[in-house]
Structure 1
Amino acid sequence: MNRLLLLLVLIIASCTNVPTRQQYTGEALGTTYSIIAYANEDLELNQSLSELFDRLNQSMSTYHPQSDISRINRGERVQVDSLFRFMFEKSAQINSLTSGYFDPTVGILVDAWGFGAESLNSFNAAQVDSLLEFVGFSKLSLSDTNELIKAYPGIRIDFNAIAKGYALDLIADLLVAKNSSNFLIELGGEIVTRGINLDRAKPWRVGIDDPNVTGVDRSITRTITLTDEAMATSGNYRKFRIDSLTGERYVHTINPLTGLAVPSSVLSASVIAPDCATADAFATAFMTMPLEDSKRLIVQEGLSVFLIYADDDRLEIFQTGRFTEASE
């Protein structure tokens, strides 16, 4: 009788320890997010997420006039927090690896060229040179007391090209701390995964947009499975122009080394990495770097990358690492 009772207790206990699927959605950092996670107990994420997003905004949002980064851009002396310092160090790392093509100080050039308009503004060489004085991540440093030092007061810094990826990494840390080991987080199209999709007992499956499809409709050009990995995609494929004479697709991008707005054939760059901050930064850089330079760096660093680029009137693909595996 006692053995039977013990068996029943063990069965009941095992049933109560089955992880349940929990989902959270919302808006943050100028975009939307979605979290699917499995845990034995209610994760109760809403308050923790709100506090995390508040910390990120206070540290690095250029849309909040009293954030640390806004005050720094106005020339104030600010002792930055650990979030800012991590973003600075990660940006410095990717800036070095990409030979300066990933550059969070390039915003002054983007604004000056008038990106997003039907036609770009025009500048002469002297005007471009005057702006380049304020561009270059090497012109920034952090003191031992966490104060950002700028070579020129007019330099502006903007972590928007990497901040979403970092936010995803922090959310992942939050979920792990709450004992969830199987989850998928999506923020503004970027993704972090841990474990598997328990409903299907398979790795998480994600997709990459098809550049041939524009407008509100979306189509997937490629799917891939992720486990304990992050993926970020940067794309100009919804902003491309078509040459009226040749019919070729191209996009304009800023070369932070020369300050010039140059045509680029790269329409989309997707990167898989252990963390999303790294994936985000590389994906941004590959939209700016010359295609052949990107290919060399990708092979040199052993990165998993999926590039979609225009070759005359055709779309071509360059893929490495995880992207070369067969889609399930």
Structure 2
Amino acid sequence: MKNALYILILIVFFSCSDNNSLELKTLQGEAIGTTFSIKYLSDDTVNFEGKIDSLITAINKSTSTYIPTSDISKINDGDTTVVVDAYFQEVFNKSARIFNETNGDFDPTVGILVNAWGFGPENEIADLDSLKIDSLLTFVGFHKVSLNNGKVKKMYPQIYFDFNAIGKGYLVDIIGRLFEQNNIANYMVEIGGEIRARGVNQDGVAWKIAIENPNEDGSRSFATVIQLHNESIATSGNYRKYRTTPDGKKFVHTINTKTGYATESNLLSASVISKSDCADVDGYATACMAMGLEKTKEFLKTHTELKAFLIYIDENDQLQTYKSENFDN
């Protein structure tokens, strides 16, 4: 027993020594319309900037609706000859799974409505009414698309893919995998608030991140601070990205895939945490915003692999928070 304890102490000692000998390195920049911050521990001199730039370019070429020559843009324009790459296929397959698990509350074919409401790269539709929205809903539904032998088939040519609700998280994963392929065990990749963390930080403890309060005035304050234990986190919220009409009506960027409307709910922010990929929690966080507070609570009860921190407005117009039962931070 003493020998076993002695070995354990040695393992802990050398483990700590190894981490202490590693240098914290930081990379910052811009990608996919937002900023990124990457931190990792390494004693190597490998420069990852060029490789990360190449990955960003590849993901954009595959899945960016803001690049007219990307694969997704060509598919949206009706090109049936496009053979998509592995990036597109993985995002497509993840989207199909989350679409099914959320009963369609997460649906990347909602792009035609995202554009119609003025939140996408295409022209918005003026004076949207129930008749126009109902007609557009014909072209929404991930069950109306398929992927076979690298080619996408759409039930209707008007179906418009929009992977923005999962794209940031996916790029986070691709960069994280790059570090793992290069034997970097301790890192945190953050792009536009979506984060994948592995190992520990420079102090030898799990990476800490803060969840912001939904401040609409541009100020920043934090609702809570958590640690990520080899986990990913994504946050979705409607408190910053919205449009207000001249008569004061507010439209948010999360579209209800069942009704087609972009109206505000009492759920202001959803942060979802899991040991799965960041793309997954990115999709789930978006689905939570589409579901609303009560439906999200019920969803979390049957998906205990997910942890969630929700910020909402109660019946007295007061800011409140909700933690899923397994939220242990």
Same fold (TM over 0.5): yes
Q: Which letter maps to 2:46? A: L
Q: How does 1:242-261 map to 2 (within 5 A)?
A: 253-261=254-262
| Cα distance, 1:58–1:108 mapped onto 2, change above 3 Å | same
The 5-angstrom pairing of residues 220-299 of structure 1 reads 220-239=222-241, 253-274=254-275, 275-299=277-301
Query: What does the per-residue CA deviation read over 1:101-134, in whole Å, with 9 as the maximum and x for residues that have no partner?
Result: 1011112112223459xxx964443222211111
The equivalences for 1:85-234 within 5 A come to: 85-114=89-118, 122-143=127-148, 145-198=149-202, 200-211=203-214, 213-234=215-236
Q: Is the 2:112–2:160 contact (alpha carbons within 8 Å) kept by the matching residues of 1?
A: yes
Q: Is the 8 A contact 2:238 2:264 kept in 1?
A: no
Distance between the aligned counterparts of 1:115 and 1:204, measured in 2?
33
The reply on whether 1:39 has 2:68 as its aligned counterpart is no
- Return closer, same or farther for 1:27/1:113 CA change in 2, 3 Å cut-off: closer
- Alpha-carbon distance change, 17 to 162 in structure 1, aligned in 2, over 3 angstroms: same
- TM-score when normalising by structure 2: 0.85
Q: Secondary structure, in 3 states, of the residue corresponding to 1:271?
A: strand
> What pairs with 1:67-86 in structure 2 (closer than 5 Å)?
67-77=70-80, 78-86=82-90
For residues 309 and 158 of structure 1, do their structure 2 counterparts lie closer, same or farther at Cα, with a shift above 3 Å needed? same
Change (3 A) 1:183 1:16: closer
Is 1:66 the counterpart of 2:65 in the alignment? no
Q: Work out whether residues 211 and 222 of structure 2, in 8 Å CA contact, stay in contact via their aligned partners in 1.
A: yes
Report the CA distance shift for 1:294/1:121 in structure 2 as closer, same or farther (over 3 A): farther
Mapped partners of 1:252, 1:65: distance in 2:
22
Contact 2:114 2:253 in 1 (8 A): no
CA contact (8 A) 2:313 2:319 kept: yes
Structure 1 residues 203 and 252 mapped into 2: Cα distance closer, same or farther (>3 Å)?
closer
Tell me, which stretches of 5 or more residues in structure 2 are unaligned? Answer: 1-16, 245-249
Q: CA deviation at 1:252?
A: 7.5
Deviations 1:140-168 (A, max 9, x none): 1001x210000000110010110110111
Shift of residue 291 of structure 1?
2.1
Amino acid at match of 2:213: D
**Residues 148 and 297 of structure 1, relative CA distance in 2, 3 Å threshold:** same
What letter is aligned with 2:259? T
Equivalent of residue 27 in structure 1, options 25, 30, 44: 30
Identify the residue that residue 313 of structure 2 maps to in structure 1. 310
Deviations 1:38-80, CA, capped at 9 Å, x for gaps: 1121231011101111110110011111110000000002110
Give the share of equivalent positions with the same residue, in percent.
46
Q: Hey, what's the Cα distance between the residues in 1 that align with 2:112 and 2:224?
A: 35
Distance of 1:108 and 1:269 partners within structure 2: 24
Q: Quick one: which amino acid aligns to residue 313 of structure 2?
A: A
Measure the CA separation in 1 of the matches of 2:294 and 2:153: 34
Task: Flag the 1:126–1:27 CA change in 2: closer, same or farther, 3 A.
Answer: same
Give the partner amino acid of 1:265: N
Q: Which runs of 5+ in 1 are unaligned?
A: 1-13, 243-248
Q: Secondary structure of 1:254's match?
A: coil
Letter in 1 for 2:136: L
Distance 2:126 2:298 in 1: 32
CA contact (8 A) 1:253 1:264 kept: no
Q: CA RMSD in A?
A: 2.5
Q: Please state how far the C-alpha of 1:315 moved relative to its aligned partner.
A: 1.4
Change in 2 beyond 3 A, CA 1:115/1:49: closer
Using the size of structure 1 for normalisation, the TM-score is 0.85
Structure showing greater radius of gyration is 1
Amino acid at match of 1:287: M
